[in-house]
């Protein structure tokens, strides 16, 4: 519960201060997911 609220606070704070950081984080997350999907089992 606290982790979720911390994440929400970080997202709202980041949205007002540095949007590129959020986009970069999202890109990194997508890259990790894509890597896991394409990585050999």
Which positions ≥6 away from 21 have C-beta within 8 Å?
A: 14
Q: What is the mean pLDDT of the chain?
A: 72
Q: CA 26, CA 20: separation in Å to the nearest integer?
A: 10
Question: Of residues 11 and 27, which shows the higher confidence score?
Answer: 27
| Contact indicator for 14, 26 with CB cutoff of 8 Å | no
Residue with tokens 């201060």: 17
Asked whether residue 29 carries a pLDDT value surpassing 70, the answer given is yes
Coarse DSSP helix, strand, coil percentages of the chain, rounded to the nearest 5 percent:
90, 0, 10
Q: What's the CA gap between 20 and 28, in Å, rounded?
A: 12
């Amino acid at each position: 519960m606290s982790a979720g609220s911390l994440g929400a606070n970080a997202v709202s704070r980041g949205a007002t201060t540095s949007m590129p950081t959020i986009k970069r984080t999202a890109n990194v997350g997508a890259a990790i997911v894509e890597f896991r999907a394409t990585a050999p089992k």
